[in-house]
Amino acid sequence: MTDQRAMVHRETDMTHSDVLKAAGFSEAELTGGDLAVHSPIDGAEVARVRQTDPAEMPGVIARAQAAFRAWREVPAPRRGELVRLLGEELRAAKAELGAVVTLEAGKITSEGLGEVQEMIDICDFAVGLSRQLYGLTIASERPGHRMMETWHPMGPCAVITAFNFPVAVWSWNAALALVCGDPVIWKPSEKTPLTAMATMKIMERALKRFGDAPEGLVQLVIGGPAIGEALVDSRDVPIVSATGSCRMGAIVGPRVAQRFGRSILELGGNNAMIVAPSADLDMAVRAIVFSAVGTAGQRCTSLRRLIAHHSIRDELVSRLKAAYASLPIGDPRQARTLVGPLIDHAARDRMQAALEQAGKEGGRVHGGRSVAEGVPQGGAYAEPAIVEMPEQTAIVRTETFAPILYVMGYERLEEAIAMQNDVPQGLSSCIFTLNLREAETFLSAVGSDCGIANVNIGPSGAEIGGAFGGEKETGGGRESGSDAWKAYMRRQTNTINYSAELPLAQGVKFDI
Ligand code: UN1
C-alpha cells in the first residue's frame, strides 16, 4: 500500500465521534440537547446539542453591551493582539477544525481546510488593520480650523451565518468586528452548530491567552428564528451581518432598518461567466469545473450560468461534458473526491425539481442524477448537471443551491453583458477573453453589475483581501477586505478651531 493510500485509509477510518473528540468535544456537549445534527456524508445523527432559550437573549445582549463598554476603550492594536492569538490557535487547530467542517457541511477535505485557512488569512489581515483604522483630514474653508474624521467602535455585532461557509464567514465578520471594538454574537445555521462550537473552543483558548478581555466579548447562540429575531430587533445590537438566502435578507434588512440599525447583507448569487471567442478554453474549462461543481455547487459564488459565444459554445459544452464525466463523486473525506454530498436530501430534491423545471422550459439536461453507488449510504449525492438552455428562462434566473450549470449562447458582447446582468442577484461574475477591449468593457460602468467581476478566473474562491459582497438582491453588504471594516465602526467628523475667531461656514453672519 502506498503512503497516500495509507493516508486515505486513515482519513476515512476516523469515525464521526473520533473527529468530534479530536476537536475537543465532550460527550455531554454532544448529547441531551434537542437540536439534532446530521452529517451530510451519511445522514447519521452525530449529536444533539442544546439550543439557546429565547428567554436568554436579553441576557446575552446585555453581556455584549457590558463587554462593549470595556472593549471600546482598549487600544485597537491591543484588540488586534486577541485576533493575532486567534490566528495562532486556528493554525494549531487547522486539521481538526477542517475535519469538523467536512463532517458537518460535507465539504471535501481540501475545501474544509481551505475554509480554516480563510479564517487564518482574515485574522492576519485584521491584525494589520488594528494598527490603521484611519480617517482622513479634510481642508477647512475657515482659517485656523482643521477637519478630520475619526472611526469609533459601534457596539455589539450580530453575525448570522449559513451552512455552506460555517466558520469562514463568521471569521470575516468577527476578526474585523473585534479589532474595530465591537463584541460579537454569533448565530450559526441550525445545520452547522458543531463547527461553531468547535470554533468557540479555539476562540476561548485565544481569549484565555489574551488574559483580560471582558466577559461576553464573543458569544454563541444556537437555535432557530426566535434567536435570530431577538438579535434583528434589538436596538442594543447596532450591527447585524447576515449571510443566507435573499428571502432571509428581505426579512432581516427592513426589520433592522426599522429600528435604524445597520445591516450587512450577503445574500444569494446567480453568478455567470462569459466565454468569448478568444478565450483560452483549457483554462476556462478548469475554472468552470471548479466554480460550478466545487463545494457541490453550494457556494454563494458558485458558477450557475455560462454565457458562451456561439462560435465556441458546442466545443466548450463537449469538453465540459467530458470533464464532468470523470468527476469523482463520493465520500468527501477521501483524498481523490472532488464532489461531496449536498447538505441534505431536501437540497437534492430542490436540485431535481429545478432540473425538471429546466426541462419544461426547453433545457437539455446532461447529468444531474442521484448517485447511490460508490458513495456512503444515507447522504444526498448527485451528479453535477449541465443544462443547455434556449434562452435565460425563469429557472435560470433563480438561484438553486446545487451543482447545476445553465449554458446559453450569445453573438455580440453587449448581448452577453445584458444577459449576465438580467438576473435579480448581483454577487460575482467573470469573463474569459484575451481581447483587451472586451475585458475592459466587462469591468467598465456599462459592464458587469456585480460586486465582484473577474477576468480569466472563475467567479468563486475570492481572496479575503478584497471587499466581498454584491448588489441588487445580494444585499449590498461588503465584508472581509479592502475598507469593509468601516461598516463595523461609526464615523465621526471633527472640526477643530485653533484660532481666536469664530467664523461661520458658508460666510453666514450671526453677530451678537
Ligand atoms: C459564500 O459562498 O458564502 O469566494 C462565500 C468564495 C469564498 C467565499 C464564498 N471565498 O467562494
Ligand 1 contacts CB of residue 460 (under 6 A): yes
From 343, 428, 460, the mutation candidate for ligand 1 (largest count of ligand atoms within 8 A of CB) is 460
pLDDT tens digit sequence for 383-442: 999 999 999 999 999 999 999 999 999 999 999 999 999 999 999 999 999 999 999 999
- Pocket test of ligand 1: the residue of 160, 173, 271, 300 to mutate, having most ligand atoms within 8 Å of its CB, is 300
Question: Is the dihedral angle over the CA atoms 369, 375, 379, 384 positive or is it negative?
Answer: negative
Cα of 460 to ligand 1 centre, how many Å? 6
Cα separation, 288 vs 489, whole angstroms: 38
Dihedral of alpha carbons 397, 262, 105, 44, sign:
negative
Give the integer Cα–Cα distance in Å for 322 and 496: 68
∠ CA(155), CA(172), CA(16), 5° rounding?
A: 115
Residue 331: name the closest of 342, 343, 323, 341 by CA.
341
pLDDT score for 507 = 94
**C-alpha 204 to ligand 1 mean position (Å):** 26
Would you say the CB of residue 296 lies under 6 angstroms from ligand 1? Answer: no
Q: Ligand 1 pocket, 174 CB below 6 A?
A: no
**pLDDT score, position 12:** 63
d(CA 94, CA 114): 9
Please indicate whether residue 302, judged by its CB atom, sits closer than 6 Å to ligand 1: no
Q: Give the whole-angstrom CA distance, residue 74 versus residue 70.
A: 7
Beta strands 35-38 and 467-468: pairing type? Answer: unpaired
Is the minimum distance from the CB of 462 to ligand 1 under 6 angstroms? yes
pLDDT one-digit tens code per residue, 167-214: 999 999 999 999 999 999 999 999 999 999 999 999 999 999 999 999
DSSP-derived pairing of the beta strands 303-309 and 404-410: parallel
| pLDDT < 70: residue spans in the chain | 1-12
Q: Which of 96, 118, 266, 473 is catalytic?
A: 266
461 C-alpha to center of ligand 1: Å?
6
pTM: 0.96
pLDDT of residue 103: 98
Nearest to 377 by CA among 108, 9, 44: 44
Q: Are 289 and 317 in contact (CB under 8 A)?
A: no
Measured distance CA(89)–CA(82) in Å, rounded: 11
- 146 Cα–ligand 1 center, Å: 42
**What is the dihedral sign for C-alpha 470, 471, 477, 482?**
positive
Please indicate whether residue 164, judged by its CB atom, sits closer than 6 Å to ligand 1.
yes
User: What does the block give as the cell for 120?
Assistant: 487564518
Q: Are 195 and 104 a contacting pair, CB within 8 Å?
A: yes
Site to probe by mutation for ligand 1, drawn from 111, 160, 167, 299 as the one with most ligand atoms within 8 Å of Cβ, is 299
- Residue 103 CB-half CA count within 13 A: 30
Residue 195 · residue 101 · CB < 8 Å? yes
At residue 11, the pLDDT reads: 54
- Detail the DSSP E strand segments found in 362-488: 364-367, 370-371, 381-382, 385-388, 404-410, 425-426, 428-432, 452-455, 467-468, 471-472, 479-480
- How many of the other CB atoms lie within 10 Å of CB of 441? 18
Residue 266 among the catalytic residues: yes
How much distance in Å is there from the Cα of 302 to the middle of ligand 1?
Answer: 8
CA-proximal residue: ligand 1, atom 6 (nearest): 461
| DSSP secondary structure letter of residue 505 | G
| 3-class SS of residue 265 | strand
Cα 169 to ligand 1 centroid, rounded to whole Å: 8
For atom 3 of ligand 1, the residue with the nearest CA is: 300
Residue 161 beta carbon below 6 angstroms from any ligand 1 atom: no
Q: Is the CB of 170 under 6 A from ligand 1?
A: no
Task: Please name the residue whose Cα sits nearest to atom 7 of ligand 1.
Answer: 461
| Number of H-type helices and E-type strands within the chain | 16, 23
Q: Which three cell numbers, joined as nine digits, stand for 249? A: 435578507
Yes or no: say if 419 and 407 are a contact pair by the CB < 8 Å rule.
no
Rounded to the nearest angstrom, the distance between the alpha carbon of 1 and the centre of ligand 1 is 37
Q: Which atom of ligand 1 is nearest to the CA of 162?
A: 3
ipTM above 0.95 for this complex? yes
**Cell (9 digits) for 434:** 484575451
Query: Which pLDDT score, from 0 to 100, does residue 13 have?
Result: 77
